[in-house]
Each structure stands twice: as structure tokens, then as C-alpha cells.
Amino acid sequence: MHGEYKVPGGKLVVVDLDVEGGALRNVRVAGDFFLEPDEAILAIDAALEGAPANTDTAGLAARIDAALPASTVMLGLTSEGVAVAVRRALAHATEWSDYDWQLIHEAPQSPALHMALDEVITAEVASGRRPPTLRVWEWASPAVIIGSFQSLRNEVDPQGAERHGITVVRRVSGGGAMFVEPGNTITYSLSVPEALVSGLSFADSYAYLDDWVLGALADMGIKAWYQPLNDIATEAGKIAGAAQKRVVGGEGAVLHHVTMSYDIDADKMLEVLRIGKEKLSDKGTRSAKKRVDPLRRQTGLAREAVIERMIDSFRTRHGLTRGKVTDEEMARAEELVRTKFGTEEWTARVP
């Protein structure tokens, strides 16, 4: 069995192993990390040898920690990262390179249609009728997108939304409300087979699916990191938030979508969103205006240039060919707008 895992912000860990009699055998750990002293790698292999195959990530990491020499120094490597690679080997997880990735980047569409396209495209990936897909959104109008389980009245000021012509829609994934304006927001979705995140916890899958965009930001001179559970941050502040939805059916799939702030009208946002003191304290700040630091300020690039560099970065890392929403997919999405995402019943399902 073979498993790979790139430690968030670190290096690639590769594990090869067998399972005999319910235990790990012939374990060999490798990768492009840095590790001292040399014998520490043998200690890691020995710690995993004979471990019950059903040992969880925390248990495997504990075995490694207990076996390492006191002088061990790890750079780009963690015991948890090795343990995740083991769990991915046992789960027969796939890798990014196993797939032919497709890009969808089309003309601006309505907020409700974007919600529907996420559902349709991810279901198509789960069924095997569509390859794993990176979809970059273009917005036809400003919107507030609330999480699947959020209270509409608690999150949105209806007078403020009406005054500024803001459409309110509800997405299928959890998480918090997002304020978007067409020229100020960069949004993308990854619709991926469930096998790509096999062996990862929900929290680890966020970091794993965000890793490519951290690399893209680094290429633009921005040092960014994954901030649990679902934020991308820099020293200047949060720049993005992610959310996920697991899709059952076929081979299964994961929808992972991210909204990034290229620029932001903070005063307008505060007139539309009801951002409570509890949420701000959880983020370690007293002002909602200080929670987000837009990409325009940090890159000095036009929004279109940031998007193009992100796409180029993904293509360089994983390969990417241009695709489109099929006529059948669009018809199904438009029907979902009519019956679900464009209805008051769905938007106010948690009043």
C-alpha cells in the first residue's frame, strides 16, 4: 500500500507498507523533508512496524513521538503528517496527479445559479460523469451567501440588504456568511472525488484542499497559511474563508469552495451583515473591519491578474484543461434555482 501527504506549509511524506494479520508490516517512510539525526527515520519506521491497522491518526503519531530520539529535529515534517500518510495508504487514497483536472471559468452568473451549479457539478463528479473540477466564479450581482445552518434573521439586516441591492442566498455547505461584490471578490469551487481526501479528517481535508492556493499566493509574494478550521490568513489578517459539503452517491465527492476578499467595502458590509461580538471575539479582534485584509492591497495586482495567476499555479502543480458547464448541467442547475436556491422556503429554512 502506498500513501502520500503534503504537510500543510511543509513537505511531502510518502509511506509504503503492507498489512499482515491486521498489523502494519514492512513500513518505509520517505519524502523531501529534513530530519535529524539520520537514525530518526529508522525510529519512525520501527514505531509503526506492528501497529494495529485500525490505529487512528492520533495513536500512530503518539507511537512515533514516543520512539523518536530526544535530539530529533523535524523540518517540513510532523509525526501527525506521517500518521496521515499511513491512514491514506490504508484507505487507498488517490492523489492529485491521478486525475485530469478541468477548469470552468465562464461569464458572470446570478448568486442562486452559482449555488445550484455547485450542487450539480459535484454530483456529476461523484457519479463519475465529470472529472474533478476547479470552477472560478464570476458574479452578476452583489450577494450575501449564508451557511446551510445559519439563521437568516441573525445574519442579515434585511433593510441594509434591500438598500444596497444585495441578494441573499443560502448555500448547501455549513460555515459563516460571506459578503460579495462582483469586482471585490474571488470565489472558486473544487469538486473532487471523495477518494482524494480518504484517510483525512474533516479538518485535515480543509488544509489539504487549500494547499495549492497557499502556493499560488506565495508565488505572488504573499505568505499565507491555513488557520483552522476554515480560514486562510496572513500577518495582515484573514483573506479567505472555506466551506465544504460531502456528496453521497456513486463514488462520493467533496465540494470545497472558497471566497477570497480582493477588496471590500467594509462600511457597506456592516450595514448588511449582523456580525456579533461573540464572532469577533472568537477571531481575536474588536472590529469587523480589521478581520479581512484584501488581496488588492497585498498584491498590488488587478483582480483578473490574481485570478489568472491562481489558475496558472494550479495548472503548473496539477495540470488543468479548459472545460465548460454542459447544457444538461445548466438545465439541471436552472431547475434547482426554480425549485430550491431561488425560493424563500430554502433561503429562510432556518428563519
Identity of the amino acid at 195 = A
pLDDT for the residue numbered 9: 82
Pairing state between β 23-31 and 34-36: unpaired
**Preceding omega of 229 cis (within 30 degrees of 0):** yes
Strand-pair partners of 292: 238
The residues, any chain, with a CB within 8 Å of residue 326's CB and separated by 6 or more, are none
Residue 195 DSSP one-character state: G
Distance CA 12, CA 8 (A): 9
| Residue 292: per-residue pLDDT | 77
Helix axes 57-67, 79-90, angle to 10 degrees: 130
Half-sphere exposure in the Cβ direction for 143 (13 Å, CA): 27
* 59 Cβ contact partners less than 8 Å away, ≥ 6 residues apart: 51, 83
pLDDT tens for the chain, 351 residues long, are 999 999 988 999 999 999 999 999 999 999 999 999 999 999 999 999 999 999 999 999 999 999 999 999 999 999 999 999 999 999 999 999 999 999 999 999 999 999 999 999 999 999 999 999 999 999 999 999 999 999 999 999 999 999 999 999 999 999 999 999 999 999 999 999 999 999 999 889 999 999 999 999 999 999 999 898 899 999 888 999 999 999 988 899 999 999 999 999 999 999 999 985 334 444 444 445 556 779 999 999 999 999 999 999 999 999 999 999 999 999 999 999 999 999 999 999 999
pTM of the predicted model over 0.85: yes
Distance CA 17, CA 1 (A): 5
Which phi and psi angles does 325 have, rounded to 5°?
A: -70, 125
Phi/psi at 319 (5° precision):
80, 145
3-state secondary structure of 144: strand
Within 8 A by CB and 6+ apart from 323, the residues are: 102, 103, 104, 131, 133
Instruction: Name 271's Cβ contacts closer than 8 Å, sequence gap at least 6.
Output: 157, 160, 163, 164
C-alpha cell at 190: 473544487
The predicted pLDDT at position 290 comes to 53
Crossing angle of the two packed helices 40-48 and 57-67, in degrees rounded to 10: 140
